[in-house]
Amino acid sequence: SSQAPGDFLSFLSILLLASGAHSLLEMEGIQQKCVADVIAEIAVRAATEAEAQVDEELLRLDALKEDDLEELRRKRLERMKSTHADKQKKLAQGHGEYEMIDEKDFFNVCKKSEYIVVHFWRESTWRCEVMDKHIKQLCLKHWGTRFVKINAEKSPYLTERLHIWCLPSLVLCKAGKTEHTVVGFSEFKSGDEASTEEVEELLAKYGVISLRD
């Protein structure tokens, strides 16, 4: 059973008297010193135990962090592998390049890729050459989208069906359907002096490329 503070002090007084503390003031001073030492010892012990608990918790958190980091590394590696495999598959289908296709291949190309930019082009039109320059840069950067061009003069069926009346025209396709047609440079603030970045932003606006690529 625990001793009351009064009992402890009485016991301490007897010990002090027995040890040669003769005056009351001397005895009270020694008592205060002993009590302070006991309190200090208790405080140190409590602090040590608290520190040990904190250290244990920090170790536990460090272990969790390490596990979390390992899980993040694993997931990131899986995403990288998946992205690489997807890229290789798309590159095999003609992504990452800018090539001419025939009218007869248009629908087959549309079936194979989710996002397609089709440039209806004519060799004698200098504005088509300007658009070519932009697309050649974008196809390398945005490999998730297929970029192709079609000779409008040799594709009467498509030009009529897709209402191509001005060159260059960019037909933007999603999931096998035509989403939008950019007629000439009409949608660019700078007209035919538009930068590659402006062309990129417009294609992203219609969702056929992502600016995060």
Residue 88 β-bridge partners:
none
The pLDDT tens digits along the chain (213 residues) read 555 555 655 655 665 555 555 555 565 665 666 767 777 778 788 888 888 888 887 787 677 666 676 777 777 777 777 676 667 777 777 889 999 999 999 999 998 999 999 999 999 899 999 999 999 999 999 999 999 999 999 999 999 999 999 999 999 999 989 999 999 999 999 999 999 999 999 999 999 999 876
CA distance 63 to 57: 10
Residue 181 β-bridge partners:
171
Structure token digits, residue 139: 């196809």
In the numeric block, the tokens 């490999």 are attached to 143
Task: Provide the whole-model pTM.
Answer: 0.63
Q: At 167, is the secondary structure helix, strand, or coil?
A: coil
